Amino acid sequence: MQSNPITAAFDRARAARRRALVPFLMSGYPTREGFRAALAEAATLADVIEVGVPFSDPLADGPVIQAAAAQALKQATTLAQTLEDIAAYRLEPQASARGQAPEPTATPSLTLRAQDGFTPPVVLMLSINQVLAGGAQNFAQRLKAAQVAGAIVPDLPHEEAGSLNAEFAAHGLALLNMLAPTTSPERTRAIAQSARGFLYLISSAGVTGTRDTFPSETLAYIKRAKELSGAPVCVGFGISKPEHVRQLADADGFIVGSAIIKAQSEGRNIADVLQPLRQAL
Amino acid sequence: MTTTAPGRFGVYGGRYVPETLMANLIALEAAFEDARRDAAFLAEFQSTLAHFVGRPTPLYHAQRLSQVYGGQVYLKREDLTHTGAHKINNAVGQALLAKRLGKRRIVAETGAGQHGVATAAACARLGLECIVYMGALDCERQRPNVERMRLLGATVKPCDAGSRNLKVAINEAIRDWIANPDSTHYLIGSVVGPHPYPLMVREFQRVIGDEARAQFTRVAPRPDAVIACVGGGSNAMGIFAGFVDDPQVELFGVEAGGDGATTAATLNTGRPGVLHGALSYLLQDAEGQVLNTHSVAAGLDYPGVGPEHSFFKDTGRARYETVSDTEALAAFKETCALEGIIPAIESSHAVAFARRLLANRPGLRVIVNLSGRGDKDLPGLLAKGLV
């Protein structure tokens, strides 16, 4: 099994002495073309990109991401389309951003991304029912074929994840574990120690969406997770501002979702959100 | 019993929820397992059922329906409980359990409004704060129940997303619980949701079946069949629980056939998937997106179903049939005219199937779970000119 590209992305950020940035984009939002452009744009500032495959009944999401999922579903966004767009981005992010096929003779210009030619790996975020629809094995094969590095399945807790984990391991993919502030010490240990890719820390109780500040317990919670985790620790749910990154400085990375979707819905550039965060890392 | 692995009925059930809720579900399971073995808790539950809910409810021999349908029809009169439907059995049970867990705030979803009213009543009695999520469409078609919940001190939150029915109400109730895991208990109203809910709600509802089985012995040792409507499936699982170990008793669950084009007949036309925390039959497309449903009965208008019903379907212990809006409305009117009983439009689906069964197999002795009364349905049905 080759080393997972998520691990390599975190190593690269650590070598540059900064924390990692993980933007979340919704496939098919605001449109298919808009999503493809956002992927290429996010690639210039991201270490890993999380791509949501829209679901009709997302339980862990707040109003902003729910609305984006509903809009993407209205445009009939599917897993297959999402994987096509990601595969195109993996080949040549800027070409896909312009909606063109890569030119085989031209040397790809990577200056927009990074000097070292780094392309951020992609992980999917979706509901377990979307995985079960085509079966776990088929899902893992399709992710592998599209060069997706792994997946986050928020309604698949550790205890239920056995068979999907086995499929993912067989295909060199990472099923990302999630921790919540409510997780018991025993379960925290089991979840953190078996973490692959990165360990996703839900910052505080509640659905996804912007929070002003984080409770003081959040810092101790991040520390505890880092001590136990076999993988980098990233915080998500409510991260939108450089102050958040500074307040939760112990984390290895930060996941930013609703703030990006909100910027897209207002017609703003997603770099408006990502650039200040990147500078605070 | 029918639980084959912890939290599973065959392959169905489980606990598919965001991590934030796992601690609550584990604590709830432990509290329920402790409470069901605690004589003091059981005594308080029994006393509440007797003095607040009004149990036991009668098993009523519907003689004129029997004559017209061509068999012997017995109605289990859950419509005569306090607040007018079987939902109150589970609501008082879980409210007592929530208090035992030290929770001060209750969230609930409601479709037809009967579970919301029952939860509001149970919370008022115990001094618990109560928030009820209800689809905006259901608020319109079940107006009397919205007013009853408000009078009983509950805050009703209409849900305007998507299908504007029971499914979105459950989504919002779960999201509220994710935001308030420490203070709040989610008082789910059916045998759906993550473990331990399907098991726990069945146990709080099994009083229907236990009573009916004992009451029927005055007529004969056992009935030939037991019939109940199935949305999420709690009234059905409650009455089935009394007869599941009597192999000679046929069990029939009746799903909403809607208008024929769109239905809520999950077990008849769905395939296994995960919605609201459990693996069970589900109305979904090839991508795993949950489909919109339609039924004249708000309480049956749900694309999922309790996992134990999926297990019963696969094992053949129960059979699941469908009844259309039109058939249910006809049975509603017949029950009014022949028996002087206004049934809930949900329960009317079960009566309609009894008519079909007895037409094909005359002379059977059947128990129909009359899960609720129909007063709540009158404004909506009258406004549409349906009755």
Please identify which of the residues A41, A47, A50, A92 carries the catalytic annotation: A50
User: Which residues of chain B make contact with A202, given a CB cutoff of 8 A?
Assistant: 18-20
The mean predicted confidence, pLDDT, of chain B is 96
Is position B290 within any domain? yes
- List the single residue in A128, A130, A207 with the smallest CB-CB distance to B179: A207
Encode pLDDT of A54-68 as tens digits.
999 999 999 999 999
H helices present in chain A, as ranges = 5-15, 32-43, 63-74, 79-91, 93-97, 128-134, 136-145, 162-170, 185-193, 217-228, 242-247, 258-265, 271-280
Tell whether B78 and B150 lie within a shared domain. no
Domain that holds residue B26: 16-48+87-201
CB-based contact (8 Å) between B290 and chain A? yes
Tell whether B269 and B306 lie within a shared domain. yes
* End-of-domain residue from the set B201, B229, B262: B201
- List the single residue in B179, B275, B288 with the smallest CB-CB distance to A133: B288
CB-based contact (8 Å) between A180 and chain B? yes
Nearest to A42 by CA among A79, A78, A89, A5: A89
Is position B103 within any domain? yes
Question: Is the complex ipTM more than 0.90?
Answer: yes
Distance of CA B7 to the CA centre of its chain: 19
> Residue B220 maps to which CATH number?
3.40.50.1100
| Crossing angle of helices B307-315 and B197-216, rounded to 10° | 60
Mean pLDDT, residues B265-281: 97
In which band, very low, low, confident or very high, does the pLDDT at A269 lie, cut at 50, 70 and 90?
A: very high
Tell whether B193 and B315 lie within a shared domain. no
Tell whether B297 and B187 lie within a shared domain. no
| Res. B5: pLDDT tops 80 | no
| Res. A40: pLDDT tops 70 | yes
Is position B73 within any domain? yes
Q: Which of B11, B15, B20, B180 to mutate to test the interface with A (most CBs of A within 10 A)?
A: B20
Is position B6 within any domain? no
Backbone angles phi, psi at A174, to 5 degrees: -110, 125
Please identify which of the residues B109, B203, B250, B339 carries the catalytic annotation: B109
Our CA-based measurement puts residue B178 at a distance from the nearest CA of chain A, in whole angstroms, of 5
Rounded Cα distance, A145 and A84, in Å: 10
Encode pLDDT of A95-109 as tens digits.
444 444 444 433 333
CB-based contact (8 Å) between A155 and chain B? yes
Fold classified for A5-280: TIM Barrel (3.20.20)
Reduced to 3 states (helix: H, G, I; strand: E, B; else coil), residue B254 is strand
User: Which residues of chain A make contact with B14, given a CB cutoff of 8 A?
Assistant: 160
* End-of-domain residue from the set B201, B229, B259: B201
For chain A, percent of residues with pLDDT exceeding 70: 90
* End-of-domain residue from the set B201, B225, B253: B201
- Give the number of beta-carbon pairs within 8 Å between A and B: 110
Residue type, A132: L
Our CA-based measurement puts residue A133 at a distance from the nearest CA of chain B, in whole angstroms, of 5
Catalytic residue check, A61: yes
Tell whether B215 and B313 lie within a shared domain. yes
Please identify which of the residues A33, A41, A47, A61 carries the catalytic annotation: A61
Q: Taking the CA atoms of A192, A198, A204 and A207 in sequence, report the sign of the dihedral they define.
A: negative
Tell whether B372 and B228 lie within a shared domain. yes
Q: What is the pLDDT of residue A91?
A: 78
Please identify which of the residues B87, B103, B313, B376 carries the catalytic annotation: B87
| Res. A150: pLDDT tops 70 | yes
For chain A, percent of residues with pLDDT exceeding 90: 85
Find the radius of gyration of the CA atoms of chain A. 17
Catalytic residue check, B87: yes
User: Which residues of chain B make contact with A187, given a CB cutoff of 8 A?
Assistant: 22-23
How many other β-carbons are positioned within 10 Å of the β-carbon of residue A44? 18
Our CA-based measurement puts residue B63 at a distance from the nearest CA of chain A, in whole angstroms, of 46
What is the biggest distance separating any 2 CA atoms in chain A, rounded to whole angstroms? 56
Is position B5 within any domain? no
For chain B, percent of residues with pLDDT exceeding 70: 99
Tell whether B197 and B215 lie within a shared domain. no
Tell whether B143 and B210 lie within a shared domain. no
Mean pLDDT, residues B247-257: 97
How many other β-carbons are positioned within 10 Å of the β-carbon of residue B78? 31
Helices (H) and strands (E) in chain A, counts: 13, 9
Encode pLDDT of A183-194 as tens digits.
999 999 999 999
Rounded Cα distance, A27 and A77, in Å: 7
| Res. A146: pLDDT tops 50 | yes
Q: What is the pLDDT of residue A101?
A: 44
CB contact at 8 A, A164 and A173: no
Q: Which of B11, B12, B19, B28 to mutate to test the interface with A (most CBs of A within 10 A)?
A: B19
Encode pLDDT of B160-203 as tens digits.
988 899 999 999 999 999 999 999 999 999 999 999 999 999 99
Tell whether B264 and B300 lie within a shared domain. yes
A132 to B288: CB separation less than 8 angstroms, yes or no: yes
Rounded Cα distance, A8 and B135, in Å: 47
In which band, very low, low, confident or very high, does the pLDDT at A115 lie, cut at 50, 70 and 90?
A: low
CB contact at 8 A, B192 and B276: yes
Q: What is the pLDDT of residue A204?
A: 92
For residues A2-24, one letter each, b for 16 or more C-beta atoms within 10 angstroms of the residue's C-beta and e for the rest, the string is: eebbbbebbebbeeeeebbbbbb
**Structural domains in chain B (count):** 2
Rounded Cα distance, A279 and A259, in Å: 16
Our CA-based measurement puts residue A127 at a distance from the nearest CA of chain B, in whole angstroms, of 9
Is position B2 within any domain? no
B274 to A127: CB separation less than 8 angstroms, yes or no: yes
The gap between the terminal CA atoms of chain A, to the nearest Å, is: 31
Encode pLDDT of B330-380 as tens digits.
999 999 999 999 999 999 999 999 999 999 999 999 999 999 999 999 988
Mean pLDDT, residues A86-99: 67
User: Which residues of chain B make contact with A237, given a CB cutoff of 8 A?
Assistant: none
Tell whether B312 and B326 lie within a shared domain. yes
A205 to B182: CB separation less than 8 angstroms, yes or no: yes
Reduced to 3 states (helix: H, G, I; strand: E, B; else coil), residue A269 is coil
In which band, very low, low, confident or very high, does the pLDDT at B4 lie, cut at 50, 70 and 90?
A: low
User: Which residues of chain A make contact with B27, given a CB cutoff of 8 A?
Assistant: none
B60-69, B104-113, B230-239, B255-264: range with lowest mean pLDDT: B255-264
Our CA-based measurement puts residue B159 at a distance from the nearest CA of chain A, in whole angstroms, of 12
What is the biggest distance separating any 2 CA atoms in chain B, rounded to whole angstroms? 55
Encode pLDDT of A209-237 as tens digits.
978 889 889 999 999 999 999 899 999 99
Q: What is the pLDDT of residue B269?
A: 96
